[in-house]
Amino acid sequence: MKKAILFIGILSSLGIGANQTLYAQNTKASTSLSKEEEKIIAYIDANMPRAIALLKESVDINSGTLNIEGVKKVGAIFAREFEKANFKTKWISLPDSLRRGGHLVASIGFNKEAKKTTKGKKLFLIGHLDTVFEPDMPANPYTILNDSTATGQGVTDMKGGDVIMIIALQALQAEGLLKDANIIAYLTGDEEHAGTPIDISRGDFIESAKQTDIALGFEGANGLNSVATARRGASSWLLNVKAKTGHSSGVFTPSAGYGAIYEAARIVNEFREQLSTEKYLTFNPGVFIGGSETNYDASKAAGMAIGKTNIISPAVTVTGDLRFLTEQQKINARKKMQAIVDHSLPGTKASIEFEDGIPSMAPTEGNNKVLEVISGVTTAMGAGPTVAGDPGSRGAGDISYIAAYVDCIDGLGSSGKGSHAPGETIHLNELPYLIKRAALTIYRLSR
């Protein structure tokens, strides 16, 4: 009881009300945790003020993807904290041509002797330093809104997740539980807008992951007892339509044809009719430009069109995305889209180009095995089993680049609302539980 009272006092000092202590009480009531795990939980309870201070410190530095200095400053803060857990840190610089800040890598173990003696899994922990909020956007410093909520730029996506990862590792180190661990923590500096080409911006990231067995992603949590065993991939397409032009009075005739706008509309509508009911497959036209004169600038995702109602449009450009759960689903969708494009209306000719983006993190048996470990942790904590979340609720992420090489789980980060929008929030009352879940998961997997 004394421990529970102490923790309520800690929460109150953080602006978190005593009525928000459900998850702390559940963990204390559990009888399924080892002595080592109870010590981990006690450390986290005692160090929650440090966790909140670290969250505030990182959130109050703007680290929009294109703010290179800001990304590096946040990287330096987190490097300092990794080193407190006895991790070695290094900064991976990217070529100036990519206009990106670089990546922070922290590791422990991975020497020849450790590889010979370790019995646990080698882990790859994923976070990112950047946010979608650039310096020219309205500032939103870390602010406590009420007894359980705070706001700030990137507070949930994903500085909250980074703090969860770091405090969990510090807890394990403080209890002497990382001696035989092999862990790489990789915090990218451009997750929100990855530099291209990808083989440069993610080359070291992918090679580092290949040294490990399991990847744990600390993107935002979708429910306290749900994690992601799969994430959809993202790619893009570009549709160009050419057609005969002339006076509108001749439209639909054999000599004039249908024009580019009708043909583009037919194609996009048939995409919807033939593919929109397939689970986890989505495709969205983002730009649709047609007229008697058109111009599209791909680098700016913008264009212009000039047209008159009495002129049949000779050209249309449409761009869109394509999201999918597996590589085969992507391939099948592209084949259907190509077949639709090939059946042109009279007087028109269309072509479509596909470009790969982020691969999918497909559901696998290996991912489910890791889920079983996490579910065992949350059950032992008194919070009940953990289940796989809906892959359709998430977009693509960094973990997808390595899903073909290691078993993967994502969604181990903080919980909140409004990611990528002004006023983004984090649920402070749920943060202690999520740090404990992460720490115990890393502990069990690394043994």
Query: Confidence band (pLDDT; 50, 70, 90) for 113?
Result: low
pLDDT of residue 297 exceeding 50: yes
* Cα 364 from Cα 281, distance rounded (Å): 18
The C-alpha atoms of residue 269 and residue 366 are separated, in whole angstroms, by 39
Q: What is the mean pLDDT of the chain?
A: 91
Q: What is the pLDDT of residue 13?
A: 42
Among 1-10, 39-48, 263-272, 312-321, which is the least confidently predicted range? 1-10
- Say whether pLDDT at 1 is over 80: no
Cα–Cα separations (whole angstroms), residue 293 to 296, 302, 314, 331: 11, 15, 8, 34
pLDDT category, 118, cuts 50, 70, 90?
Answer: low
pLDDT at 117 over 90: no
pLDDT surpasses 50 at 379: yes
In this structure, which topology does domain 2-231+361-446 adopt according to CATH?
A: Aminopeptidase (3.40.630)
Lookup result for tokens 């181990």: 412
pLDDT at 21: 40
The stretch 357-379 carries a mean pLDDT of: 96
The C-alpha atoms of residue 318 and residue 257 are separated, in whole angstroms, by 20
Where is average pLDDT lowest: 13-27, 110-124, 385-399? 13-27
Q: Is 4 exposed, middle or buried (0-12, 13-18, 19+ CB in 10 A)?
A: middle
Q: How far is CA 155 from CA 20, 25, 125, 151, 435, in A?
A: 19, 25, 19, 6, 15
Q: What is the pLDDT of residue 4?
A: 40
**Over the stretch 407-435, which tens digit does the pLDDT of each residue have?**
999 999 999 999 989 999 999 999 999 99
Cα dihedral value 198, 202, 207, 208, nearest 10: -170
CATH topology of domain 233-358: Alpha-Beta Plaits (3.30.70)
Domain boundaries, the chain: 2-231+361-446, 233-358
Residue 247 predicted with pLDDT over 60? yes
pLDDT at 368 over 70: yes
Q: Please give the backbone phi and psi of residue 338, each rounded to the nearest 5 degrees, phi first.
A: -65, -40
pLDDT digit string, tens, across residues 312-361: 999 999 999 999 999 999 999 999 999 999 999 999 999 999 999 999 99
Structure-block tokens of residue 447: 């043994």
